[in-house]
Structures are given as structure tokens and as C-alpha cells.
Structure 1
Amino acid sequence: MLGALSAAQAQTNNETEAQAQAANGGVFTLGEITVLAPSQDVNLSTSSVLSQQTMQEHRAQTVSEALNLVPGVNAAYAGARGEQLFYVRGFDRLQVPVYVDGIPTYVPYDGRIDLGHFTTFDLSRLEVAKGFSSLIYGPNALGGAVNLITRRPVKAFEGEVGGGIGLSRDGNANEYRAYTNLGGKQEQWWYQVGASYIKRDSFDLPSSFEPNNVQQGKGERENSRRQDKKINVKLGLTPNATDEYVVGIVRQEGEKGQPTYAGSLPLTGSGSGMRARWWQWPQWDKTSFFFTSQTEVTNQLTLRTRLYHDKFENMLVGYDYRNGVVGNVGSGFPSYYDDDTTGFSVEGDWRVADRNLLRLAYHYKDDVHRSSDDGTPWSHFKDRTQSLALENSYEFNDGLSVVAGVSYNERKSITARNYGTNAGSPTRPSLYDEPKGSNHAVNYQFGVFQSLGQDGQWGQLRASVASKSRFATMMERYSTRFGQVIPNPDLKSERARHYEIGYSATLLNDWTIDTALFRSDVKDSIQNVTVPSDQCKASTCDQPQNVGRARHEGLELGLQGSVGAWDLSGNYTWLRRKNLSNPALRPTDTPRQKLFASARWNYGPWHVTGSTEASSKRYSSSNGAQVAHGFAIYHLKGGYRFVNGTQIDAGVRNLGDKLYSYSEGYPLAGRNFFVNVNVPF
């Protein structure tokens, strides 16, 4: 669907578009998961698409930065852990899973994926499915899905090299980046290699920031260093025109520091203030092995498979920290994670008739978590999740399509060995077995899509309803939070029912519009409830329970097109979230209103792009007492493209040096500059 800065419409200059396609390569279509119209293979899902060209145009180096360009999506920041997050129509990273070429990627224990570690240089496109997302994705897509689709070569040899530097407000170099993509397509095989490196020494705060006892200077943000390396290798066999078999490996190595809280609340060890933290991650490493294939069994039946093994290794070090002074390694640190996921999926597409496509998918995966704090014995958890999905697309005629689907999902706890104190050993920590639990959920959805006018010249209307679920994570079920939380192995899945009506069209002079009205009713949300207990260290404890009810409703509007030498685009989101089970508890981290707009001026090989991001206020603490105020920031970039396709860009971000934040107390970068170069071949 339209509504994002899409692949086909973000650039109208034919010569520039051809050069960009040559540099970016093709789309790895085996990585796509879509809802298709049977006879036309048109994507019917309510998804937004970003091309690699658009991500480069707006210097979206990480997936979180790219997602912030999409209507209905807002970037967020987990201040206590320094993580780049996102929300899709109010649903967070646990409720909207992230996939790489259709394969789920996450941290098995707690789902706390940090998209700041995921760079965009090796992607061909990014797709965001909202609400009515294909059931073929598998379990846990309660609020939608984000699919990162990598590249596939289209020529015998192609590639690019690029890089750049970032400069602080005072012109000091503080960020360095380099990347390359190489690929080649032969008659019966192909290869694709991508590598990237980003290092940031720090970032500078806006000049209006007032120092305090934590952030004692007006310039460099303390403990804001980060570094990420990534390599992505794929080898594909294409024995004929319909079949394809691909093996690949992705290796990511990351490290970062977490800037501490610098807001208005007092820093404390516990209680009503903000906890004083000085944390660093010297290791955030992820390795993924995968095999994916497509085989045309008959003219009517196509099989696709995905097999994968992910390994996640993480080390967190916390230091004693008081009055701006960093001390020794704190008690309980270092903390180690050693997680892995092994799974596979099988999907069959059966063209029952010319206008009827039936899709069946089975998913299986084992998630394993191992952890140790400061040399303690390793805890060990293992979950097994399975899913069976059926999705049918039927065209009544050239203009009217309907899609219906149902899935059954099941999660079982196979191993649950924890470390700490329990009722059997209330004073001496030890390894012990937690009760195992299981849960199942049935999902369903139904959508109607009607083209207007001859060949859809007046656009398309759509209406859908979807009921989706998400299983509780290992952390939600078993974490004791140092004896302050009672585990709940029998937590049920969260549920949401989505309703949407929308309209999209290509209007006069290739202007495109996409708009949607949506509502989601959420029940059985997992929230901590205070309960009396003699099984923890305090007189009362918390326990996660399925007690929450909420409602999300809103409007999305996307518009883009060209006027003379100008390419214009923008999107607006209005979102209202209500906590129905506890109205006094305000939803956090999402603004009521968000606007993104950009204008690009083309003059021969020269181009200039200006853009703005504006947001209303958002609440930032669990009780809604703290507010990250609304803001508007502006970016400006100019560049030149040589005849051979080489492009040099220079620009400034946060042009007005605005003091702003996504989460109160964690201010983001002030005015900063950059220079980039990209050389395709």
C-alpha cells in the first residue's frame, strides 16, 4: 500500500532512478511476505514501503531512523537501556516483531531488540505491515510486522562503496561510517555480499541544555559511544526460471554506552526518583545462519521453506555511580546472555483457480536462554512455539478481492531452570526448576479490497478486521526482578482486534495518496499487579497478570508527488490511546500527533532536500508524570551526482539546535553535520 516514501514514487527523474537501481540492486523477493491478489500478484496488505533510495535520501542509517519516516510509526527511546525503539499505531517492539527476509529476529529472553544495532546499508527495502498483516508471518504479530528485505543482484557484476563522517556543532569529527555491497548474477547462480561499519565517539547536546550533576557539560553527551559492524553474505542457486535455493550468514558485532538520566527527577538507588545508572554493553553480538528456497512443484503449487539458527551473545556491565562519579563494577555485574533460536517454516501456495489463491504455512521454533550474573550458575530456559496458518485470497472480478485467514499458535515451556531464592530456599540462592506453562491462541482476519473506476484509475477502497495475539516472553513469565516479582508461568497471550478502512490512489500528475482510519481493542495486556506475598523479600510483591485493557484509534494520511523540479512528500498520524482498565495510568512513548514532510529540488546533477519532523508531547514514565515536550526539528542536505553515478552529499541535522527528546530526561543530539559519498559500479 501507499503512504510511506515508497520505492517507485520517491524519485521521478528517470535517469536518476535508473542510476539508483543500478547502485541498489534488486529486491530479494524470497524474503517478502505479502497478502496477494491471485491473478495479479498485487500486495493487498495494509503495509508501507521504504526503498533503499529513500533511506539514503534521508540519511536513515539504522532501522529505527528509517521506521520514523513511515506513517503510523514513531521512533522511541528506552532511556534506561539506551535502546532505539519504535511503535506501530501504539504497539511496541514486543507486539510488532521484526523479520529479516521473513525470518524472525529478536532477543529470545525478553524481546528487547535494539534497532540501533541494525543498519540499513544492505537492505533493498523495508516493509511495515499494520494490523491486517499476513498470517503467514507466524505467531506474535499482534500489532503488525516489520520486514527488512535485503538485496539480490540483477547484473553480472554490480556494487557500491560508500562512507562518510559526522561532525559536532563545533565541527569536530565524532562519527565515522563505511559500507560496501557487491553482487553478481549468473545464469544459474548469484551471490550478494554486504558489509558496514559505524563508529560514534559521542554526540553533542544542544547549546540550550543546562548541565546538572549527572551531565556536567554542555557539549559531549557522556557515555554515548557506540560501534556496530555487520557482514551479510548470500549465495543463491537458480536451476530454472521458477526455483531458487539460497544459503546465507549474517554477523553483527555491537557495543555501546548508555547515557544516564539527565532530567528533572532526582537520581536515587531506588524509590520515587530515577535510578542512577552507568551501564555499558561491550558485547552485543548476533550471528544468523539461514537457508530459504522456492520450488514450483506444479503450475498450481509452489513450496517455500526457511530454516534458520540465530545465536545472540550479550554482556552488560554496570558501574557504581554517584554524583557524576563512575566507580567500580557494581554488584551483580557483568551480566551475560547466551541465547539461540532454531526454527523452520514451510509455506505452500496453491492456485486453486485463476482467481483463487490458497496459502498454508507451518512454523516451528525453539528459543533458548542462558544467563549468568557475576559468575553465578547459569539459568536455562527453553520455549517451543508452533503455528499453523491458512490464508485464502479470492477475486470476484477484476476490481473486488477478499482475503480471509485463520491460524492456530501454541507455545510450551520445555525447560525453566532459574537461579535465585524461592520458597524451598528463601535465604540462599540456588538453581531451581520453575513450574512449566503453556498457552495457545487462535487468530483470524478478513479483508475486502475494491478498485474504483476502470483498471483502478480512481484508487482502491479497503476494509478489514483482524484478531491477533502475542505470547508472553520468558522474562515476563519468570523474572523475579531480584526477589521483587513473583513469576507467573501461566500467563496468557495478549490479544488485539483491529478494524481499518482505507483509501489509496494515484491522482493527477502521478500524485499518490493513502489514508486510513483504524481502531484496535486490546485485552489481556500484561501488567504488573501488587499482591501480598511471603515468597519475596518485601511485604508485598508484583506479579505480571493479564489484566490490562486498552483502545488505540487514529488516522494516517500520506501524500507525495512532483511539481516541476520539486519532489514533495509527507505523512501525518493522529493517534489516541486509552488505558481502559486503569484510566489514571497514561500510555507512554507515543505522541498524539506526528508529522513528517520533505521537499527535494532537482536541477540537473544537483539536488537539495529539506525535511521536518514534528511531534506533540508524549508521556515518559510508568505513571505518566513526566513529559517529553512536543518539538519540531529540521534537516537540510545538498548534493551532486556525477555522470558515472558517484554522489557526494553534505548536510545538517537538527538545523535549529533544538533541545528535544523521545523520552524525558534523555535529550537527543543538537545541531550536527555530515558528509557522505557513494560510488556505484
Structure 2
Amino acid sequence: MKRTHSLIAASLLLAWAGHAGAADTPAFTLGEISVVAPADDAPLPGASVLDSAAIRAENRETVGAALQMAAGVNLSRVGARNEQMAYVRGFDLRQVPVFVDGIPVYVPYDGYVDLGRFTTFDLARIEVAKGFSSLTYGPNTLGGAINLVSRRPSRAFEGEVGGGIELDKDGARSSYRAYGNVGLLRESWYLQAGAALVDEDGFGLPDSFDPVATENGGRRENSYRRDSKLSFKLGLTPNASDEYVLGYVRQDGKKGNPPYTGSVVSPRYWQWPYWDKTSLFIATHTQFGDHALKVRAYHDTYENSLYAYDDATYTTQNRRSSFRSWYDDYTDGLSVEGDFALATANRLRVAYHYKEDVHREHDAGEPEQTFRDRTQSFAVEDSHAVNARLTLVGGLSYDYREARRAESYDVSTGLVRQPVGDNDAVNAQLGAFYALDSGTLRATVARKSRFATIKDRYSFRLGTALPNPDLKTERATHYELGYSAALAGDWKVDAALFRSNVRDLIQSVRIDASQCSSPPCSQMQNVARARATGLELAVDGRVGALKLDANYLWLYRKNLEDATVRLTDTPRHKFFAAATWTQGAWQLGGSVEAASRRYTSSDGRQQAAGYAVANAHVGYRFAGGALVEAGVHNLFDRLYAYSEGFPEPGRRYYVNFNLPL
């Protein structure tokens, strides 16, 4: 960790040494993936995009918090780990994987990624593709994809430094942050580098929280976290069209897991002494006349440790439920994409993806267990402009997953090889985009799939579950009718009606308790058909000096196999709105986020109540470009939760600064 501190300090000093200039956040175009129009390579409507200006204005320092602002997305905290999760039109992060510059970053074991570990300071924007998403993303995009697009310099020198502190409602410091970004652009090369540190001792609870056995109120028990990040990209640009990039990202973290405060399930006293992730990648773009070849190759490592303790003292580990566990995972991957301009009105893309996931784990005193999956995908996607108004997009892909190794350990049997097998899936989609004088109509249908994760197939879940290596592939068919338009006065609107039909949905099912060492006993099975129906509205624009953004989601999910089994962690209604008023050097703003009640994954029967939370901020930008701002989250100190038994922070104040260079 000392090494990380030194790197952060060096980055900040480098940024301070530069010359003042206007700040902007140009995007790393090699990291973008979208369904495009054939003539100009412009993305076709349907995805939700959050730019860095909107993210910064609302002081959303983690990707999870930022995604709460996006249309069609709701934030949640799922399971005993209580990690930041996002649902896109009802699909979770196993079904809507996370990418960084087009490279998948989800954890090999369970397909999830804790969005609270990913900071936003070095991002240009976040793109959220829904059911109809480009097949060139690769496999497992059952419900869409989330792509975190980083920065790329656009001037000879550009950069920024920033930081701030957060105070609880009593004025005591609860966290601080520091970050720096710097970019160098030359005729034949460029460098983009960034560093960030977020350190939180713990957050305060609202005054209305009633103390319970596991939480006495005040500062939330075991809610500390610390995350640091260092990233750089070195790009070679030998001519106007070609680009060859070497990138590196290092994230170091540690965190505690606040204990459950409800009355349904037993609390867990968990801490992660380290949560570290490293990515090394190469991205290239080579132009051959009107055609192009794009390549991404990457090596991704993920290491963490999880300590489960007996009680809230976090000192002893004597109970059967206590343990020390270590993960040591890595992923090697390659994607190759050919982009062919067959005609002015036709664009063909062909892609191949290869991904080798290795998960290695062991508890204290046990041998290491190894799991290995190999996944490949072949995709074809064609965009054709039938005429000046109508564009058709069609795609077809084939995914193949081979389980190459799986092991389990038990005291009575020792290390045992588990059965392995293969799965495959065919994905297809078709979309029609019709340009009106006032906007664009779209009608799309997409059939997507997701392979069961290593955890889905092989986890004993601390002796309470029976593995199921023969799990089938989840499949979903998405239908959407949408309209998007740029209206007068810089106003934009997007509306969509959608339905998703899911079959072979994987969920936990109770089975004979005698089959597990620690009853009750369950098994992951393909038992359900489900349907999600919804309406999504988004609008943004200006009225004089006032900028407004708002979105609303109505979502109805139903288990068609057994209506008594709830689909959890998604509210029926979700709303977000933000307003910013600029007058000279002053900026005043506020936002509100609201959601109706939801069933949660504490046990699938409990509910988290609906809520509405308001935020406010004020800032002043000096003549040299420096910005100083102050704000408050949860202005009225509301008691609310995304997941039953896990209350969110109460009122928090913050003071930030940002200096463009």
C-alpha cells in the first residue's frame, strides 16, 4: 500500500507542474462498443450514457453510485456480501457484465463485480447497453452490458488534481479522497495516466435508526473501506488512422461488511483484508482503406482474502461459520474484430472472442482448489441503410463454454475432481431504426444467453448447498419499441416500452436436507421462466441557466413458473432527477432519487421500504478554472435501504476541490 501512496503522490506532483488550461474529458475511442449507423459510425439510439460532468456534479465517486443516475438502472446491495450491485431492467451483473474499455472485468468465480470498488475519477463516461446490445461485446450479455470508457488526451498537455473530505452529520470526518489525471499528446504518441485514493472510516446512520443487537446507531459498524487506483495508457499513433495502445490498471482495496440489522437471517461478521485487481492490456486499431482491424488482448488478475469471525469483536474464529478464505484468480483474453465498409450504406463487423478464466481458492489449512473455464464466441453484425430514413441492424453469434477443470475439498474425501462439461448458445438480434423529422423510432428484438458461473455450478455454499455441474444456459428474448429525439432548446428525450422473456432462469431451490452437511440444503437449478415488462423515460435539456436531467423506470417482473417465489432487488418504480443552475462563477444544484418498495435477497420474502432522498450542492469556479464546492447527501437524513437489514448512510456533508491544469 505504501507503494500505491507514492505513485499517487507522484501523479499529483506531475499534474501540479503543468500549465493551466480548460478541462475536458475526451473518451478513449478504442474502448467504445456500440451498435452503429453504417455511414458515419455514429451510435444508434437505445443505450444510456453518463458523462463525467454529470457524474462529478453529483459527487458520485463509485461506479455503483453513478449508475443510480442512469435510465433503466437501479442500485442494490445483494446477499451476505452487501456489495454495490446494479440491475438493468431487472437483470443483475451476472447477466449484464461490466467492461472497462471493452474488456470484461467481472470476477471469474461468480460473474459479479463489486461496483463500490471502481472509482469514477479517470472515466470519460459510462455506457449502459440494454437487451439489444452489440454482439461484438462477446458472450454472457444476457441483459446488456456496462462499459466504463476511460479518458484519452486531446491537447499537448492536460490534467487535473482534486480531492475532498466528507463529514457526518455531527461534523466528524468520515472519509477523504484525492485524485489526479494527466495527459500528454504528441504527433505520434500519447500518454494518459491517473491515480486516485478513497479512504472511509465508516458512515453515520440516520437519527431515526433504532438500535438493535448488531448495530447501536451512530457510525455504522464495520463500514470502513479503502480503495486506491493507478492507471496509465501509452498510445502510438503512427498516422491519422492507426492506434496501438498498452494499458495498465492496478486497484488495491480493503473493506468491512456491515452486519445485518434485521430479524430474518443470522448476521455475518466479515472483513476483506485485501481486494486487489490488476489489468494489463493491448488495444489496436489498424486501417486498411475503408476497412479496419481491431484487437484487444488482456491479462487480468483478481486476488482477495475474506475473514469470517465469530462476533462483532472481529477477533476470534472458533465457530463452524468462521473461516479464512483466499482467492487467486486470473483471466487471459483476446478479441479480434474486423470492421468492413462493404458500401456507403452497409457496415459489416465480424468478431472472435477467447477467454480463459481460472479460479483458485482455499481456506486456512486446506489445499488449493482450481477451476478453469474456456469460453469462445464468434459474432457477425451488419448495419444497412435501406434508404435515407431506414436502417436495419442484424446480428448472429455462437458462444461455446468448456469447463476444463473443477475441484472440491472435504475433510472426509480430500481433494476431489468434479464432473465437467460443455455448453453452447446461439444469439441473434434484429433492429429497425426509422428517422422522422423530429426524431428516431426504433423496434428491436434480441435473443441473448448467459452461461452458469463456476459458483452456480460447483459451490457448496459453506455446506448448505449441493453442486449442479449440469446447469443449462439462461436465455432471454427482448422486445423493445422506442423513440428518441433532439428537440428545440437543447432538449433531448428518449422513451421505450420493453418486454423480456427469460427461460431456464437459474435460482436456488430447497432440496432434501440430508444431502448437505449444514442443513437447510439448496441447489442451483434451471427451474423458472420469468418475464420483465417495463416503461423507460428520460429527458434532459436547458431553460436559460438551468440544466435539467430526469428519468423514470416502471418495471414489472414475474416468475412465470411459481408466482409465490419472488424476483428480488428491483423496485416497481424508480425515479431520478437533477438540476443545476449556473450564474457567473456560481453553480447551484440538487437531485432527488426515489424508488418504491422491493423484495430483497435477505431471504426473498422481506421487503425494503420505498424511499425518496434529496441531495444539494453549491460550487464556485475561479478565473483560473479551479472549482471549490460544498454539498450534502441525504439532505433530510432519511432512513432507507436498498436491501432489507442494511441501512444506507444518513446525512453527509462534503467539501471538494478540482483544479484543471
Normalising by the residue count of structure 1, what TM-score does the alignment of the two structures yield? 0.92
Q: Distance in 1 between matches of 2:519 and 2:279?
A: 45
Residue deviations 1:285-307 (CA, integer Å, cap 9, x gap): 0000000000012x232000000
Match of 2:415 in 1: 431
User: Secondary structure of 1:26's match?
Assistant: coil
- Give the whole-Å Cα distance in 1 for the aligned partners of 2:513 and 2:553: 44
Matched position secondary structure for 1:152: coil
Matched, 1:337 2:327: yes
State the Cα distance separating 1:531 from its structure 2 match.
3.7
Match status 1:498 vs 2:478: yes
User: Quick one: distance in 2 between partners of 1:491 and 1:622?
Assistant: 24
2:629 matches 1:649? yes
In the other structure, the counterpart of 1:13 is: none
In structure 2, what is the Cα distance between the partners aligned to 1:528 and 1:593?
26
Greater shift, 595-604 or 173-182, is seen at 595-604
Corresponding residue for residue 289 of structure 1 = 280
SS in 1 for 2:408: strand
CA distance in 2, matches of 1:391, 1:233: 31
Residues 490-517 of structure 1, C-alpha deviations (whole Å, 9 max, x = no match): 2111000000000011112121111000
CA 1:45/1:459 → structure 2, altered by over 3 Å: closer, same or farther? closer
Per the alignment, residue 258 of structure 1 pairs with 257
- Residue type at the aligned position of 2:122: D
Gaps (5+ residues) in structure 2?
Answer: 1-18
Q: Which residue of 2 aligns with 1:361?
A: 351
Cα distance in 2 for partners of 1:153, 1:655 equals: 37
Q: Are 2:602 and 2:645, in contact at CA under 8 Å, matched by a contact in 1?
A: no
Tell whether the 8 Å contact from 1:79 to 1:261 is kept in structure 2 after alignment.
no
1:311 aligns with 2:314: no
The question of 1:416 aligning with 2:406 is answered: yes
Q: Tell me the distance in 1 between the aligned counterparts of 2:93 and 2:484.
A: 27
Q: How many residues in Structure 1 have an aligned counterpart in Structure 2? A: 641
Q: AA paired with 2:528?
A: G
Partner residue in 2 for 1:395:
385
Shift of 1:36: 0.9
* Cα distance in 1 for residues equivalent to 2:508 and 2:570: 21
Measured in 2, the distance between the counterparts of 1:622 and 1:253 equals 29
Correspondence list, 1:26-105, <5 A? 26-44=26-44, 46-78=46-78, 80-105=80-105
Q: 1:510 aligns with which of 490, 493, 500?
A: 490
The whole-number CA distance in structure 2 between the counterparts of 1:399 and 1:20 is: 45
Q: Measure the CA separation in 2 of the matches of 1:108 and 1:133.
A: 22
Question: CA 1:224 to 1:539, structure 2 compared with 1: closer, same or farther past 3 Å?
Answer: closer
Cross-structure match for 1:449:
433
TM-superposed deviation, 1:483: 3.5
What does residue range 86-485 of structure 1 map to in structure 2 within 5 Å?
Answer: 86-216=86-216, 218-263=217-262, 265=263, 273-297=264-288, 299-321=289-311, 325-330=313-318, 331=320, 333-420=323-410, 428-453=412-437, 458-485=438-465
Cα distance in 2 for partners of 1:20, 1:132 equals: 43
Q: 1:623 to 1:312 in 2, by over 3 A?
A: closer
Residue 542 of structure 1 and its aligned partner are, at CA, apart by 2.6
Q: How far apart are 1:625 and its partner, in Å?
A: 2.5
C-alpha distance in structure 2 between counterparts of 1:127 and 1:107, whole Å: 20
* Counterparts of 1:482 and 1:220, CA distance in 2: 30
Scaled by the length of structure 2, what TM-score is found?
0.95
SS of residue in 2 equivalent to 1:93 = coil
- Aligned 8 A contact 1:504 1:514 in 2: yes
Distance 1:406 1:21, change over 3 A: farther
- The answer to whether the 8 A contact 1:73-1:87 is kept is yes
Q: Deviations over 1:304-331 (max 9, x none)?
A: 000000000010011101xx55440355
Give the aligned residue type for 1:474.
I
| C-alpha contact 2:79 2:602 (8 A) present in aligned 1 | no
Query: Does the Cα contact within 8 Å between 2:459 and 2:465 map onto a contact in 1?
Result: yes
Is the contact made by 1:588 and 1:622 (CA closer than 8 Å) also made in structure 2? Answer: no
Give the corresponding residue for 1:577. Answer: 557
Q: Residues of 1 paired with 2:461 and 2:578: CA distance?
A: 45
Q: 1:662 to 1:535 in 2, by over 3 A?
A: closer
The whole-number CA distance in structure 1 between the counterparts of 2:41 and 2:392 is: 14
Return the alpha-carbon distance in structure 1 between the equivalents of residues 326 and 271 of structure 2: 12
> Does structure 2 conserve the Cα–Cα contact (< 8 Å) formed by 1:586 and 1:623?
no
Deviation of residue 347 (structure 1)? 0.1
CA distance in 2, matches of 1:592, 1:147: 25
- Which residue does 1:603 correspond to in 2? 583
Equivalent residues of 1:585, 1:622 under 8 A apart: no
Long gaps (5+) in structure 1:
1-18, 266-272, 422-427
* AA partner of residue 226 (structure 2): Q
Distance 1:364 1:70 in 2: 30
Identical columns (%): 54
Per-residue CA deviations over 1:258-292 (Å, capped at 9, x if unaligned) read 000112x1xxxxxxx41221110011000000000
SS of 1:23 mapped into structure 2: coil
User: SS of 2:456's equivalent?
Assistant: helix
Shift of the 239–261 alpha-carbon distance from structure 1 to 2, 3 Å rule, reads same
Partner Cα separation in structure 1 for residue 295 and residue 463 of structure 2? 43
Other-structure match for 1:670: 650
What is the RMSD computed on CA atoms of the aligned residues?
1.6
Q: What's the counterpart of residue 563 of structure 1?
A: 543
Q: In 1, Cα distance between the equivalents of 2:268 and 2:518?
A: 23
